[in-house]
Every structure is written in C-alpha cells, then in structure tokens.
C-alpha cells in the first residue's frame, strides 16, 4: 500500500472555517426559522466593482475571438498586470520593484503555503499566536514540526504571543529563527504595526540572515496615513522580506481568486554547502514548474482595479466595509465589550464578556443572537478568551447583528 504523509495526522483539528460552517449548518437545520447572520469567515459580500466586472466580461469575450484568444500565459503573470500593480500600489509608497520580482497567483492562501517549498525543512520558523491558521498548519503538513502539546503548540515552531500587553505585536524571538511570519494589518486581531515596529523586525532579520514572510492581504483597509502598507517601506526590507498580497478582500475576489507574491532579487538564502542562492530564482523555478498562471480573464479583471474608475470604485467598496467595522466596534463598546482592531482592518477582535471561553461565546452568540463569529482560540492558544467579528457583511445585517448583540449583553 502507498504510504500517506503522516504529518497530516499531527494536525489537531479540522481547518477552522469548515468546522464553524459545520456547526452553523447543524444549528440552522435544527432552527430553520432563525435568521442567522454570518460575520465569521472574512468573506466579502459586495459585488465586483463595475469597471472590474466589465474587464472580466470583455476578457471572456476575447477568448471567443481568434485575434484576442489567450492560451497559456506567462506562469508568473502578465506584465501589464504586474506593471500596473507596481505603478499604482508600490511606487506611491516610494517602493520600486522590477517586473521579475512580482508573481501573480490564484490567491494568497496558496502562496503562503507554497512558499515553504523553497525553504529547507530545518529552518526554524516563528509565527504569531493567535495567527492565520494556514501558517501553522502548512508547516505541520510539510513536516517541519513534531507533535502538538496539550496547549496546541507544535514542537519546532517558535510561537510569539500577541496580546493586549504587547499591543498584539509580537516581541522579537529570544532564540535565533530563520523564517518569521508577520501579518499586518493583522488577521485575526485587526491591529497594525508602525514603521518603527516593523523596522525592529527588518533589523532582526538582516542581523540573523532570516527571511520575513510579510502577509499584507489587508493593506488596502489601512486608514491611518502613518501606517505602512508594505514591508518594503522599511529600509533594508528588500534584503530580507517576501510580501504576499491578495485581491480577495481588496477587490472582492474571494471567489474569483488572484493574489501576488513579491520576492525581491536581493533576498538570499544558503545552500547546504554554504553558497548564497537567490530565493527569487527558486520561486520562479517553482512557479514555472508547478503553476500555469492565474487565468487570463481573472488577470484582466485584476488589472482593471488599477484603472482610474476601478480604483475609485474599489476604494468605495473598501470604505463600505470600514463603515461596517466602525458600526461593529462602536456598538460593541456601547455594550461594554472591550475590542481592538477595526480601524485599519476589517476585523474586530473582542474580549469575550463574562470570561467565557471563545467557543462558549461562539455558542452563546449563535444560540441567543443567531450571529456567527470566529472563536479566537481557533487562531491559537493566545486567542482563548477572544472572538473575531468580520466587517464584510451586508450593512443591514451588520446593523441587525450589532443590535441583537447589544440587546443580549445588556
Ligand atoms: C479569514 O476569515 O480569516 C479569511 O477569510 C481566511 C482566508 O483569507 O483564507
């Protein structure tokens, strides 16, 4: 019999969001008249911006013509999309990138997982706690870790607790690590890091020959002009950081699928014999071998985000979600709930009232308010006692959900 990858058996629970989906479905079946409002998974609800939709349609029409038909594209993405992103999203930040440093993909979740292919297994990895579960679980799957302990921490991963005491920004590790995952604006806590805070990480990485995986999937939701949108705004970052971005939340592409990775030419690692080697070259090799590029209509739709019209319309959709975030944040505060985030990110991270565990609060909200959120403990042990609400719902649902929660907690 073929042998399985035993590493998968080390994973303690099913992936968080399907598990929540399962519980919500069971509740809905048992309570068919309940109007359940979902503010759990960060899934967008607004339709695509009209300019983006038009470009998508036009590109599908292209495929029906002999002249415009597009077959295999460049595996790393079309230059017209890469250049549009560089011009409109990075240049205004003072960041210059070459076309060869950006790779278009079918989404950031896959990128965050796939990047591990080009790093040796004996690298020491540091991740935040709480954290987007993909970082942790993919390291388990690939075989970098031992078993989990009773708290849920896996052997060989350095966990960096993020809590109120450190403003949800992890302290630098006390041991030498080789790979550091940072996500700002943060999923799940919705909190951000200043340039000074990120500089500490860049300096640490450069001093320790470490690589930062910087997940900037939520950068478009930043409202404070002083908060950095890209790790490359920090001096020295192009030597040590790989950045991930996503169209999912920014442009409503959770169902369309498009993301990007920036791997600067200067980010180097070493071979087992000690020679320097470029991660950019390895990522290109991996991409051209294992991927045939995001689809042509999807990339045309993504490029339309950077047109004048598309940019303005996309910004309006982001503002809509951030107004939802304000409604949730202020409503919870009025109900006496302590909460974080929601100013520069579409997530509100709240302290569960009455010392309930995260899952107890999940059950209370589901049963008593018919509102779905995400238990903080699902993002790691330090998330216990916290809960995440997403601002990606329809406005009327957000208002209704906040009203129900306020009434319930009075
Ligand atoms: C979340 O809710 O944390 C995200 O939607 C998950 C994801 O982006 O994969």
Domain segments of the chain as ranges: 6-47+309-409, 68-307
Geometric angle at alpha carbon 69, from 63 and 70, rounded to 5°: 100
Residue of 18, 42, 107 best suited for mutating to test ligand 1, as the one with most atoms within 8 Å of CB? 42
pLDDT of residue 13: 74
pLDDT of residue 350: 98
Residues (pLDDT < 50) of the chain are none
pLDDT of residue 17: 87
* Maximum alpha-carbon separation in the chain: 65
Nearest to 376 by CA among 167, 139, 109, 163: 163
36 CA to centre of ligand 1 in angstroms:
20
Nearest to 70 by CA among 79, 59, 55, 84: 59
41 CA to centre of ligand 1 in angstroms:
6
Strand pairing category for 125-129 and 102-105? unpaired
**Distance from C-alpha of 99 to C-alpha of 8, rounded to nearest angstrom:** 36
Backbone conformation region of residue 324, classed left if phi is above 0, alpha if psi is from -120 to 50, else beta: alpha
**Distance from C-alpha of 405 to C-alpha of 330, rounded to nearest angstrom:** 12
Q: Which residues contact 236 (CB under 8 A, 6 or more apart)?
A: 199, 202, 203, 206
pLDDT of residue 16: 85
Ligand 1 atom with least separation from CA of 217: 8
Contact 210, 180 (CB under 8 A): yes
CA-CA distances (angstroms) from residue 402 to 1, 28, 225, 226, 227?
Answer: 54, 20, 28, 30, 28
- Sign (positive or negative) of CA dihedral 314, 319, 324, 325: positive
DSSP string, 164-233: GGGTT-PPPPSS--SEEEEESS-TTT-----HHHHHHHHHHHHHTT-EEEEE-TTGGG---TTS-SSGGG
Class of 68-307 in CATH: alpha beta
pLDDT of residue 410: 82
**Distance from C-alpha of 290 to C-alpha of 292, rounded to nearest angstrom:** 7
Is the shortest distance between the CB of 109 and ligand 1 below 6 Å? yes
Ligand 1 atom with least separation from CA of 134: 9
Name the E strands within 10-86: 37-38
16 CA to centre of ligand 1 in angstroms:
10
340 CA to centre of ligand 1 in angstroms:
18
Beta-carbon neighbour count of residue 397 at 10 Å?
Answer: 17
Nearest CA to ligand 1 atom 4: 42
Contact 218, 345 (CB under 8 A): yes
Is the shortest distance between the CB of 187 and ligand 1 below 6 Å? yes
258 CA to centre of ligand 1 in angstroms:
14
Is the shortest distance between the CB of 388 and ligand 1 below 6 Å? no
Residue of 15, 16, 41, 250 best suited for mutating to test ligand 1, as the one with most atoms within 8 Å of CB? 41
Contact 349, 10 (CB under 8 A): no
Nearest CA to ligand 1 atom 5: 42
Is the shortest distance between the CB of 41 and ligand 1 below 6 Å? yes
Indicate the fold that domain 6-47+309-409 takes in CATH. Answer: 3.90.1150
């Amino acid at each position: 019999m073929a042998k399985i990858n035993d590493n998968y058996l080390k994973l303690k629970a099913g992936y968080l969001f399907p598990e929540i989906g399962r519980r919500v479905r069971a509740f809905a079946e048992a309570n068919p008249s309940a109007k359940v409002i979902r503010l759990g998974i960060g899934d967008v609800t607004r339709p695509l911006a009209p300019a983006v939709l038009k470009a998508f349609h036009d590109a599908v029409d292209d495929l029906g013509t002999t002249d415009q038909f597009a077959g295999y594209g460049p595996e790393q993405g079309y230059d017209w999309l890469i250049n549009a992103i560089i011009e409109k999203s990075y240049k205004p930040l003072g960041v210059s990138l070459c076309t060869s440093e950006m790779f278009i993909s079918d989404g950031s979740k896959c990128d965050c997982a796939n990047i591990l292919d080009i790093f040796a297994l004996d690298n020491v990895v540091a991740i935040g706690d709480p954290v987007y579960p993909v970082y942790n679980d993919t390291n388990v799957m690939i075989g970098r870790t031992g078993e989990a302990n009773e708290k849920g921490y896996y052997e060989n991963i350095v966990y960096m607790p993020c809590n109120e005491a450190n403003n949800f920004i992890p302290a630098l590790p006390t041991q030498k690590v080789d790979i550091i995952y940072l996500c700002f604006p943060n999923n799940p806590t919705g909190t951000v890091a200043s340039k000074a805070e990120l500089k500490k990480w860049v300096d640490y990485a450069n001093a320790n020959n470490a690589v930062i995986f910087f997940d900037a999937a939520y950068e478009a939701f930043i409202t404070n002009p002083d908060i950095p949108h890209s790790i490359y705004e920090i001096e020295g970052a192009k030597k040590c950081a790989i950045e991930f971005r996503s169209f999912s939340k920014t442009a409503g592409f959770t169902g369309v699928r498009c993301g990007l990775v920036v791997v600067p030419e200067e980010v180097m690692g070493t071979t087992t014999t000690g020679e320097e080697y470029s991660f950019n070259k390895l990522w290109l090799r991996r991409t051209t071998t294992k991927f045939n590029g995001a689809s042509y209509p999807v990339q045309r739709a993504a490029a339309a985000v950077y047109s004048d019209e598309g940019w303005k319309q996309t910004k309006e959709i982001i503002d809509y979600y951030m107004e939802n975030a304000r409604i949730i944040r202020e409503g919870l505060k009025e109900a006496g709930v302590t909460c974080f985030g929601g100013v520069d990110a579409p997530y509100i991270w709240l302290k569960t009232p009455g010392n309930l565990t995260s899952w107890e609060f999940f059950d209370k909200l589901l049963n008593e308010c018919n509102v779905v959120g995400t238990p903080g403990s699902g993002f790691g042990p330090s998330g216990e006692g916290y809960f995440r609400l997403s601002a990606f719902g329809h406005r009327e649902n957000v208002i209704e959900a906040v009203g129900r929660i306020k009434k319930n907690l009075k």
